[in-house]
Amino acid sequence: MQKPYYRPRRLRANKTIRSMVCETRLSLTNLIYPLFVCPGKTVKREITSMPGNFNLSIDQIVEECHQVSSLGIPAVLLFGIPTSKDKMGASAYDENGIVPSAVRAIKLAEPHLLVITDVCLCGYTDHGHCGVLHNGDVDNDATLDLLAKTALVHARAGADLIAPSDMMDGRVAAIREILDSSGFEQTPILSYAAKYASAFYGPFREAASSAPKAGDRKSYQMDPGNQREAIREVALDIEEGADIIMVKPAMPYLDIIFRVKSEFSVPVAAYQVSGEYASLTAAHKNGWLDQKNTIIESLTCIKRAGADWIITYFAKIAAQYLR
Ligand code: PBG
């Protein structure tokens, strides 16, 4: 056969036809913007390794949420930077702690903005691990109770979704149980189900001052080389009551997003993490990559792989481009 009878280029010939055969359209309706709330008043401190992102005091975060909401972004994911840290992470489950206080202020000012709260201890423990330590390792079962208490405090403050990111075994069940028995049976859990021990979290740890003082997170977060284990982790979280599951990071883990999406019938969230943001932003700042097109392409590809929701530090910039 000499001639190409089928010519894929026919359907790429002009903008109109390209748009009509487009399979994946990015939309603002499923972007989530992460925010870092810190103590104080009128604080707006830029995070060095994440230009354009800030540690914000509550008054500032409320301002920011006005902006986020008016851009059409439907949800924020909140991380807290507490005033004090200790070995048990007590400020994480203090009802007057930084996150519950911020949730109350945001929900008062922007009732329609969905507030998702990250539940973990690493930002609240003086050793920087995601749970309590026993003989140098995180004690899984002793941590569950503290995570559950943290989740309850967030729900009571008005959090719309609870997002545990600690990677302890059994934490979704522990959180589901405490929420159900306290009148929050309608509060969904977005679990960081397949969370890898990734070097791409570096800038976040500056933002949240949550780097472990000693050791690493490899005894609770997953090995980047593992795929089947992600399927097992997701299955467990769904069994325990997770409503939405997350894969994290996003771009280096598109195969995981794809498999999870194919094998389960729950919504899938993907987190384009701090290191993904930082590396692209560095290239944008140097003029090495085009900002608009790399942001839109990266988010479109994460969606194409199967992500229903995308958590991204580019949400505000993307919103401006998508309007
Ligand atoms: C807390 C947590 C981390 C991130 C989200 N929740 C850091 C970590 O596990 O060390 C990373 C997010 C990012 O890099 O943007 N456990």
Sequence spans of domains, the chain: 25-322
- From the CB of 246, is ligand 1 less than 6 Å away? no
CB 155 within 8 A of CB 182: yes
Q: What stretches in the chain show pLDDT beneath 50?
A: none
In one letter, which amino acid is 116?
Answer: I
Q: Ligand 1 pocket check: which of 55, 120, 143, 310 to mutate, most ligand atoms within 8 Å of Cβ?
A: 120
Strands (E), 16-175: 31-37, 44-46, 54-56, 75-80, 114-119, 133-134, 137-138, 161-164
pLDDT for 52 equals: 97
pLDDT for 1 equals: 61
pLDDT for 209 equals: 86
pTM (two decimals): 0.97
**Phi then psi for 299, rounded to 5 degrees?**
-70, -40
- From the CB of 201, is ligand 1 less than 6 Å away? yes
- From the CB of 277, is ligand 1 less than 6 Å away? no
pLDDT for 13 equals: 97
pLDDT for 4 equals: 85
How far, in Å, CA of 167 to CA of 218, rounded? 10
Looking at the annotation, which residues are catalytic? 195, 248
Classify domain 25-322 by CATH number.
Answer: 3.20.20.70
- From the CB of 118, is ligand 1 less than 6 Å away? yes
Q: Ligand 1 pocket check: which of 198, 201, 302 to mutate, most ligand atoms within 8 Å of Cβ?
A: 201
CB 81 within 8 A of CB 47: no
How far, in Å, CA of 56 to CA of 126, rounded? 21
| Chain CA centroid to CA 5, Å | 47
